[in-house]
A = this chain, B = another copy of it.
Amino acid sequence: MAALRDIGLAAAINVLSAFVFLVAFAILRLQPFNDRVYFPKWYLKGLRSSPPRSGAFVSRFVNLDFKSYVRFLNWMPDALRMSEPELIDHAGLDSAVYLRIYLLGLKIFVPITFLAWAILMPVNWTNNTLKLAKVTYSYIDKLSISNIPPGSNRFWAHTLMAYVFTFWACYVLLKEYGAVASMRLHFLASEKRRPDQFSVLVRNVPPDPDESVGELVEHFFLVNHPDHYLVHQVVYNANKLARLVEEWERKHNWLDYYQIKYSRNQSKRPVMKTGFLGLWGQKVDAIDFQTSEIERLAKEIVAERKMITNNPKSIMPAAFVSFKTRWGAAVCAQTQQSRDPTLWLTEWAPEPCDVYWKNLAIPYVSLTIRRRIIAVAFLFLTFFFMIPITFVQSIANIEGIEKVAPFLRPIIKIKFTESFIQGFLPGIILKLFLIFLPTILMMMSKVEGFISISSLERRSAARYYLFNLVNVFLGSIITGTALEQLKSFIHQSASDIPKTIGVAIPMKATFFITYIMVDGWVGIAGEILRLKPLIIFHLKNFFLVKTEKDREEAMDPGSLSFNTSEPQIQFYFLLGLVYAVVTPFLLPFIIIFFGLAYVVFRHQIINVYNQQYESGAAFWPDVHGRIIAALVISQLLLTGLLSTKEAAQSTPFLIVLPVLTIWFHLFCKGCYEPAFIRYPLQEAMMKDTLERAKEPNLNLKGYLEHAYLHPLFKKSESYDEDDEVNEKWEQESVLVPSKRSSRRNTPLPSKISGSSSPSPSLPEVVQEDPES
């Protein structure tokens, strides 16, 4: 068992790393040439167009005002200064509510920590069990429940505290759920007009030999919603087009790169190889080759676009249907349309920039099968991913390394190295493995066919949490592969499982303290440094950027990745709740994590992140549910632990707790969840009435007609003025920034034409830049 010394060293290393990151950030952020990395949000909002300081030439790149370095933690109060309503206005409700999760952690754990340290620590400390047992133990163990002799009456204190902590957590959760629900409703009510308020996505339109999907949809809704139907847009399968455009963009980047290279060194035309990754193949003039490739692709793109619009086979049996009123849309989204419940399925349309267009082309019938397959795949991932981790971890301890590499013995035997290996390495190994996981999980969600980015992220988050629970939490506690766990669980009775895990919990406190420091503290400090975007921005800036506009595109503000950071927070909730009674020593580490993360993410949300979508805090029921799950798990494990401690009188009282907690959850669900999944008619009617009074002559049809056009079809006139495609979509809908355009800030076709003189001339494609 690792001693307090190891913890001390790990803490020192981690605090130092975190400090280094923070200082690096403080220095880097003050350099004007990094301004677009650390303050992109202000550029995107149009509130800043160049770094603030621009005196001498040098100070345009390097900050020479040394006074500003002294106040290097200045950003912290700055980050906290903005009030919540301002924050909602500035960054959206999703971000504001996301921050509340960290605050919720503080609200729950600060009082719990005080109580646990004030009551449980003395109760634990004033025993001699560990001393009498003559086992090696650290001060952390002496402060934990392990130090209480079996059958002691002192366990009543722990039982009582379990109740107090549960009630406190539930109270805070209830308040928070209510607050978030009312924030959401207020936000939705005060929101400005958005196309998704009026629109519904209808899927599984039945095939009809006589009518096209468009006609079918129109007739169906004219008949069944005669007073409310306004307009519809069919969904095209534009996945091939998207691939072509992506390739076009890649080639264009290469062209830019070669052109800049050439302009810097005019003596030699750049050459390239045409083979795989440019490693072999014929040598050609790079600029000419890329130009011709782009030309070919541009032609293909135009052809493919024509094909899509003319070929009825590329129309999916789905459509975005818009209504005259929000009331009509709310009604259509919440009701069943057809007598066959698998046809004419309606659901709220996601915000246009939240739509994950690729998945709209998935036939609805295959969705069930896809979900089943992914469920099985996830099961396999969860149960077999652990094997390599456990293998590496088993090597990465003193004995393991000695066995595998006996020649390293002299190095290992040094006190410092030993502490390092025991206190630091297991956490790092685990973390390295976990870095690749979110991508895999996100891919899984995409295969499942969710049609909005927000739901993709929510699904991935749920999976990530489950994965963490099984592999990191249980896997670290009972140290065995998930498969082995499963095997032993099946052969144990239901009441023995919490016992097995409960007994192991106090012993793993040190490991999790290290984990919190590595993953939580250093991870968060690394988050604010934005090392990857920093490097990529400067690379792009050097190789690709020609105009100010290109520089804007090179900027990658990123966004809150809900699918990775929310499960991370949840894991700390779980650790905190599980160890609150068992080893209260762990709690301050969690509080520091929550505090630091809150400040860091508040800063990032204000200055950096640019959310792709706004779901109106639709993720809160998930957050709430997972904290409740953590509570129940902690209660079950405590029951299991105490039942092995012969605390027979107090254990039965603990069995009531999970029941009460689940009851509380159902109560909250009944009270608040509908606010997150349904849209009350009263609200819809109120907004409709208000709007009708304010803007009686609003041309809603014009507003909605092209709101749900595939982003690749937008700004189509820049390809070809007399294109058939344009005859269909004459009006340009600039009201709604599409996902792509909001990310790149200049939509694709304008780039085709907008890139200045050195770009190849494509007479049939390039006409003029509508934005220039």
Contact = CB atoms under 8 A, between A and B. Distances in A.
Interface stretch (A269-277, A463-471, A536-544, A671-679): A671-679
A492 interface: yes
A335 B682 contact: no
A336 B667 contact: no
A704 B277 CA distance: 76
B682 A338 contact: yes
A663 interface: yes
Contacts of A223: 682, 685
Interface in A123-174: none
Contact of A680 (B334, B339, B670): B339
B681 A224 contact: yes
Contacts of A337: 680-682
A494 interface: yes
Copies of this chain, tallied across the complex:
2
A448 to B, nearest CB: 16
Given A368-B667, A685-B223, A672 B335 contact: no
B336 A678 contact: yes
A682 B339 CA distance: 7
Given A490-B494, A490-B495, A682-B224, A336 B339 contact: no
B493 A681 contact: no
Contacts of A527: none
A729 to B, nearest CB: 30
A191 interface: no
A335 B685 CA distance: 13
A681 B333 CA distance: 12
A314 to B, nearest CB: 28
A306 interface: no
A681 B336 contact: yes
A682 to B, nearest CB: 5
B336 A674 contact: yes
A430 interface: no
Contacts of A495: 490-491
A683 interface: yes
A185 interface: yes
Among A670, A671, A674, A682, the most chain B Cβ lie within 10 Å of the Cβ of A682
Contacts of A678: 335-336, 341
Interface string A221-241: 001110100000000000000
A451 interface: no
A663 to B, nearest CB: 7
A227 B685 CA distance: 12
Interface in A678-697: 678-683, 685
A346 to B, nearest CB: 10
Given A331-B331, A681-B335, A674 B341 contact: yes
A670 B368 CA distance: 10
A681 B490 CA distance: 48
Nearest to A227: B227
Interface string A178-204: 000000010000000000000000000
Interface majority SS on A: helix, strand, loop or mixed?
A: helix
B493 A339 contact: no
A372 interface: yes
Contact of A334 (B334, B491, B493, B494): B334
Given A493-B493, A663-B372, A683 B334 contact: no
A342 interface: yes
A10 interface: no
A319 B458 CA distance: 39
A91 to B, nearest CB: 24
A44 interface: no
Nearest to A678: B336
A561 to B, nearest CB: 30
Q: Which of A337, A663, A681, A683 has the most chain B CB atoms closer than 10 A to its own CB?
A: A681
Interface in A362-390: 368, 372
A694 to B, nearest CB: 18
A344 B674 CA distance: 13
Nearest to A673: B341
A337 B667 CA distance: 20
Nearest to A346: B681
A397 to B, nearest CB: 32
A678 B496 CA distance: 44
Contacts of A338: 680, 682
A529 interface: no
B680 A336 contact: yes
A680 B332 CA distance: 11
A561 B310 CA distance: 61
A330 interface: yes
A334 B674 CA distance: 13
Nearest to A342: B671
A37 B342 CA distance: 47
Interface in A642-680: 663, 667, 670-675, 678-680
A185 B339 contact: yes
B494 A341 contact: no
Contacts of A185: 339
A341 B670 contact: yes
Given A491-B493, A493-B490, A493-B492, A339 B675 contact: yes
A414 B335 CA distance: 70
A520 B227 CA distance: 56
Interface string A571-600: 000000000000000000000000000000
Nearest to A341: B674
A336 B679 contact: yes
Interface in A288-331: 330-331
Contacts of A372: 663
A334 B346 CA distance: 13
A325 to B, nearest CB: 11
Nearest to A327: B224
Interface in A241-263: none
Given A335-B331, A335-B334, A678-B335, A341 B672 contact: yes
A678 B491 CA distance: 43
A330 B335 CA distance: 8
A681 B227 CA distance: 13
A411 to B, nearest CB: 46
A194 B338 CA distance: 21
Contact of A335 (B335, B342, B670): B335
Contacts of A672: 341
Contacts of A342: 670-671
A339 B671 CA distance: 11
Given A337-B680, A341-B674, 10 more contacts: A185-B339, A223-B685, A335-B680, A335-B681, A338-B682, A339-B682, A341-B671, A341-B673, A341-B678, A342-B671
27 contacts: A185-B339, A224-B681, A224-B682, A225-B681, A331-B331, A331-B335, A334-B334, A335-B335, A335-B678, A335-B681, A336-B678, A338-B680, A339-B680, A339-B682, A339-B683, A341-B671, A341-B672, A342-B670, A342-B671, A368-B667, A372-B663, A490-B494, A490-B495, A492-B493, A493-B494, A493-B496, A494-B494
- Across chains A and B, which 3 residue pairs bring their CB atoms closest together, nearest first? A341-B674, A336-B678, A334-B335
